[in-house]
Chains A and B, each alone.
Chain A
């Protein structure tokens, strides 16, 4: 078993470098893989994340927190360990953390996907001895269609709704998924309105050079003016709220890997579900793991026991670790501050 990192009650900890990776309780020094709320939590003294991801991480952990950016691929030495960050292909700025100590290399993936996504740098396989992988969609029923196909289906759905005079409302997690959806929307179809929780993150994407079509923050005025024509991109927490009233008759959909399963869509009484994920599917996980050439795999959040069993049967050493990471969330409430953190930690 690797000695570079260990699992503690605050998160994954590197003793030799004295820092945590994505800790779920406040610590002195935290390396953050990406800006999702289960990985980037407020309260720590000092954060290090990819330069491209730093603005989003600041949104999460508080604008007055100390967040240092490290360019992808650039090594940093602290104590006896060498650290570098490598793109994970998950969301803008998401990075795997490579830690080298005494000739041994460990990579912590954070969340990742292999499929192309115009809103972030593509996943880069990093050879290592120990690989810490997520397993959100670690079952062979999860096999994504190409993102381009799904995005085309979203545009077709939007058009079909216009034909029957309904405003399209698509729920997507505010950081990463919503931008991936927006990037794929065809603005020639109609106006693109966004919920405030999504709007808050869009400038960071545009500043990072991601090409997005023109969007407007949804207001009573533009909602009334574009009823039956617009598509509205909103976080899942907006579902079944009075906020939706201003759009008139609506059709609802969700963009999430969970939409692969009919039950997940029908339970939410959605009209459509698009299996668009920012996580790797089953084959993606296997390919990514194989590409690291690692012999020891730590499996965390998701179908961890399933993936670990499969890997063991294929000759790898595995360990299932229990973390506070949650994978792809459906019922997410956008975190607003410490109270949310407390609630999350309380749950874990």
Chain B
């Protein structure tokens, strides 16, 4: 726990990636595999299920410190990070514990799930008394299932790859999919010994960069394959050793949530991995993302949901064939084999081949890009034909070229403090547009302002608060912002009857008065005109 906490502090106290990688490498070097396995598990974003509710933790801190619950809540509001707040509220215990991470998990984390509430409280209080402030913070993040620190997965992979003496690409592949945080599986990752879960292991997803310069500057168009950019869930469909697995890009195993996709897998030949997108789909066209959202998060799917929100798999790429990793082949070669494979699957199965958009020249591509919205896609993908399937997000191989976002001028009406890096500043905003003489909330947005602007808006909010509801401040409607978003749909789940997708702040319209902000009717018309 001391080593892991020190690593946490090192990750927390530098923004230099080389220092982070070096600290990770030496952590893996120094730590016994049974500890390092858990460290890796958390660092690359795996979570264990929340063992105790945060509500109980707050109550127990209140009891342990004799501070009223309201004061715990006020403290949380100021810090913005519950694990840190609770750690700071508890009495100092500078010594800390020498309990190694693996044992801490086995003795102080995993048992929490199987004991009753009074026993949980006793174990939590006992652990608090042994840990120092920083160790408590780390431990809280583990038991609340919210372990997130400012270190990118690629850096963790690099640190581990350096220690194992392999390339980062190789390690990125090894850590994909399921492995258990045990000494055995950790050693297996280092030495590439097959472990129990290796047969189901997905490949690292290759990612695209947003297009930065005019498309014509990409050069010879014959070098590029254009496809539509579909708006769904990126996934890998794996058929190996008679088993079918569907992995999301977030490395969640989602086979059971999408039985239609699993069915496709069962008719594929053995030793095949497809890369593609799960889309809500009906009658040869995609349905809005909101429809797919009904399926996300549902562990079991009933017959009604299968009818209401049908899905299909849009295959982009072929990564494995006849049990061989073919990522090293060029896109052109992989595409031919993908087409052959797709044509062998009967039409009744919901497998689609992502069509290659015919592109005779860049002006034609630009024209198609402009039409993307009306085709219910997000834009275009441009992929180099002469490139292998890579690892990570290198520039220049795959570009994503999204449609121009929708824009709306809206007024800041509510604000809340941020979290993590932005805790204690008001950075979470709700914006409204005019409706019957009042500002109706249409979107929450968190990003898009510079640090300077965030500070100015924070100052404004503090000086212009009209009312408070818990952590939310009602702000004088004075500031106008241009919001961008990717899609807009009619929605019954939202009070105003509209849902916008990926809202973010494009700029602060100092030049506009609140009265000049947009009206809800304008947005409704926009949604109606793009309804599928």
Contact = CB atoms under 8 A, between A and B. Distances in A.
B14 A262 contact: no
Given A139-B78, A303-B74, A309-B70, A261 B423 contact: yes
Interface in A255-310: 260-264, 266-267, 269, 271-272, 303, 306, 309-310
B14 A271 contact: yes
A180 B68 CA distance: 35
Interface stretch (B80-88, B247-255, B496-504, B512-520): B80-88
Task: Identify which of B70, B75, B80, B81 gathers the most chain A CB atoms within 10 Å of its CB.
Answer: B75
B331 interface: no
B348 interface: no
B84 A139 contact: no
Contacts of A221: none
A140 B89 contact: yes
B455 interface: yes
Contacts, number: 61
B65 A140 contact: yes
A24 B135 CA distance: 44
Nearest to A331: B455
Contacts of A214: none
Interface string A183-222: 0000000000000000000000000000000000000000
A313 interface: yes
B12 A261 contact: no
B49 to A, nearest CB: 25
Contacts of A271: 13-15
A347 interface: yes
A267 B75 contact: no
Given A267-B421, A303-B74, A143 B88 contact: yes
B73 to A, nearest CB: 10
Contacts of B455: 331
B84 A261 contact: yes
B88 A306 contact: no
A263 B150 CA distance: 11
Interface residues of B, number: 31
B75 A347 contact: no
B424 interface: yes
Contacts of A140: 65, 67, 71, 75, 89
A141 interface: yes
Task: Identify which of B79, B81, B85, B422 gathers the most chain A CB atoms within 10 Å of its CB.
Answer: B79
Given A141-B79, A141-B85, A143-B92, A347 B459 contact: yes
B78 A262 contact: no
B425 interface: yes
A141 B61 CA distance: 12
B110 to A, nearest CB: 27
Contacts of B78: 139, 141, 261, 303
Given A140-B75, A309-B70, A331-B455, A264 B81 contact: no
Given A140-B65, A260-B88, A267 B451 contact: yes
Interface in B20-50: none
B463 interface: yes
A260 B89 CA distance: 12
Interface string B72-109: 00110011110011001100100000000000000000
A145 B70 CA distance: 25
Interface in B355-394: none
A56 to B, nearest CB: 27
Given A140-B67, A309-B70, A313-B68, A263 B80 contact: yes
Task: Identify which of A145, A261, A272 gathers the most chain B CB atoms within 10 Å of its CB.
Answer: A261
B420 interface: yes
A141 to B, nearest CB: 4
Contact of A264 (B12, B13, B74, B424): B424
Contact of B15 (A261, A269, A272, A303): A269
A318 to B, nearest CB: 15
A347 B463 contact: yes
B71 A266 contact: no
Interface string A225-266: 000000000000000000000000000000000001111101
Nearest to A268: B451
Contacts of B79: 141, 261, 263
A263 B455 CA distance: 14
Contacts of A269: 15
Nearest to A306: B74
A139 B75 contact: yes
Nearest to A145: B92
B84 A310 contact: no
A313 to B, nearest CB: 7
Task: Identify which of B13, B65, B422, B423 gathers the most chain A CB atoms within 10 Å of its CB.
Answer: B13
Contacts of A264: 423-424
Task: Identify which of A266, A267, A313 gathers the most chain B CB atoms within 10 Å of its CB.
Answer: A267
Interface in A294-348: 303, 306, 309-310, 313, 331, 347
Contacts of A272: 13
A266 B149 CA distance: 11
A303 B74 CA distance: 9
Contact of B88 (A141, A266, A303, A309): A141
Contacts of B84: 261-262
Given A140-B71, A306-B71, A347-B463, A263 B92 contact: no
A262 B88 CA distance: 11
Contact of B81 (A143, A262, A310): A262
A266 B89 contact: no
Task: Identify which of A141, A309, A310 gathers the most chain B CB atoms within 10 Å of its CB.
Answer: A141
A310 B69 CA distance: 12
Contacts of B88: 141, 143, 260
A245 B268 CA distance: 61
B200 to A, nearest CB: 37
27 contacts: A139-B71, A139-B74, A139-B78, A140-B67, A140-B75, A141-B75, A141-B79, A141-B89, A145-B92, A261-B78, A261-B79, A261-B84, A261-B423, A262-B423, A263-B79, A263-B420, A263-B421, A263-B422, A263-B423, A263-B424, A266-B12, A266-B150, A266-B421, A269-B15, A303-B74, A306-B74, A331-B455
Given A140-B67, A266-B150, 10 more contacts: A139-B78, A140-B65, A145-B92, A261-B424, A262-B12, A262-B423, A263-B79, A264-B423, A306-B74, A310-B71
Q: 6 shortest A-B CB distances, which residue pairs? A: A263-B423, A141-B88, A141-B75, A266-B421, A306-B74, A139-B75
